[in-house]
């Protein structure tokens, strides 16, 4: 199946960190889940794609990829997801094997992490699926619109939380205001938003109330998406993570791909959660294990 991602070339910093820490990483991850070398001496590796924060590599284990990333929010999210155990909403997101910080390594002053996860195909291909279904407001286009609106409202919530002087207090307020937000946010207004309508919070809602409004809008959009023919698994999973206190704030078509679920069905899933916003006290102090 073709991959539609347009990726950057394999960066030298990623190869360097892998070479310098190969034995340490291998001792934790295991030989068969390490990046597959493309030349003797492990001078370069068979990457599937590279982006702003890191690279994904093939391994010798079918269905599993290795990733090196400098995105701390992704690493923290995976730690949270693993901590959920049996409550992990895996239907619409890739399954993770583990995540570890590489001690002493930096990229652009950011810490570096390695992880293993389920392999997905057709990453970035949801837009092509929409085009293939033809002109008009088809199921793939509706899924893209829901995903876009979810991201826009999630960014607004994230901005409100990050701009607060006391994030812990703001998160507690968002939880307390859940019933209030369910009453004040119009389900029909949010669910019927068109692609060219920008997400917004009413100007009179400041601080935690504004964040609670945006989070409730995300719940509505996720519920609507869970009823679509395309993207239903993603919508269900976004809502389930919200119920667990994790807002996936940067999911877009570029980090959505396909995996096989259940009785051999191909399902669109999240391959990279992007920026994750904790909206429950439990997740505010999660740390990532070191190698």
- Rounded CA-CA distance 17/9 in Å is 16
Could you tell me the CATH number of the domain that includes residue 104? 3.30.200
In whole angstroms, how far apart are CA 48 and each of 191, 246, 248? 36, 28, 24
Residues 235 and 144 in one domain: yes
Structure token digits, residue 162: 């990050």
Residues 174 and 113 in one domain: no
Is 291 among the domain residues? no
Confidence of residue 120 (pLDDT cuts 50, 70, 90): very high
- Rounded CA-CA distance 116/78 in Å is 10
Bridge partners for 49 per DSSP: 56
Lowest mean pLDDT among 5-14, 54-63, 187-196, 253-262: 5-14
Instruction: Please tell me which residue, 20 or 3, carries the higher pLDDT value.
Output: 20
Is 146 among the domain residues? yes
Q: Is the pLDDT of residue 3 over 50?
A: no
Q: Is the pLDDT of residue 133 over 80?
A: no
Domain limit, last residue, from 66, 89, 118: 118
Is 24 among the domain residues? yes
Domain containing residue 92 = 12-118
Q: Is the pLDDT of residue 1 over 80?
A: no
Confidence of residue 38 (pLDDT cuts 50, 70, 90): low
When divided into structural domains, the chain yields a total of: 2
Residues 30 and 141 in one domain: no
Residues 224 and 273 in one domain: yes
Provide mean pLDDT across the span 5-14.
Answer: 64
Q: Is the pLDDT of residue 5 over 50?
A: no
Residues 135 and 265 in one domain: yes
Q: Do 191 and 220 contact (CB within 8 A), yes or no? A: yes
Residues 111 and 138 in one domain: no
Domain limit, last residue, from 118, 141, 164: 118
Residues 145 and 200 in one domain: yes
Provide mean pLDDT across the span 256-271.
Answer: 88
Residues 25 and 138 in one domain: no
Q: Is the pLDDT of residue 142 over 70?
A: yes
Is 273 among the domain residues? yes
Residues 132 and 114 in one domain: no
Residues 77 and 145 in one domain: no
């Amino acid at each position: 199946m073709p991959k539609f991602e347009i990726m950057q070339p394999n960066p030298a910093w990623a190869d360097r960190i892998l070479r310098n820490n190969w034995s340490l990483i291998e001792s934790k991850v295991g030989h068969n889940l390490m990046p597959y070398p493309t030349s003797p001496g492990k001078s370069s590796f068979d990457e599937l794609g590279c982006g702003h924060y890191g690279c994904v590599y093939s391994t010798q284990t079918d269905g599993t990829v290795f990733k090196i990333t400098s995105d701390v929010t992704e690493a923290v999210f995976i730690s949270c997801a693993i901590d959920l155990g049996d409550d992990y909403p895996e239907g619409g997101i890739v399954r993770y094997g583990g995540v570890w910080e590489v001690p002493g390594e930096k990229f652009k002053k950011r810490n570096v992490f390695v992880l293993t996860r389920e392999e997905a195909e057709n990453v970035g291909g949801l837009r092509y699926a929409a085009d293939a279904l033809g002109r008009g407001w088809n199921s793939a286009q509706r899924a893209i619109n829901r995903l876009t609106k979810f991201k826009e409202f999630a960014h607004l919530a994230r901005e409100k939380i990050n701009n607060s002087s006391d994030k812990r207090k703001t998160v507690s307020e968002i939880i307390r205001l859940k019933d209030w937000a369910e009453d004040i946010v119009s389900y029909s207004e949010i669910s019927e938003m068109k692609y060219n309508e920008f997400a917004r919070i009413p100007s009179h809602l400041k601080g935690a109330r504004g964040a609670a409004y945006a989070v409730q809008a995300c719940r509505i959009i996720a519920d609507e998406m869970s009823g679509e023919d395309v993207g239903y698994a993603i919508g269900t999973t976004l809502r389930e993570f919200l119920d667990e206190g994790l807002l996936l704030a940067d999911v877009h078509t570029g980090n959505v791909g396909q995996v096989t679920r259940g009785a051999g069905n191909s399902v669109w899933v999240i391959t990279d959660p992007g920026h994750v916003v904790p909206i429950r006290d439990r997740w505010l102090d999660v740390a990532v294990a070191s190698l």
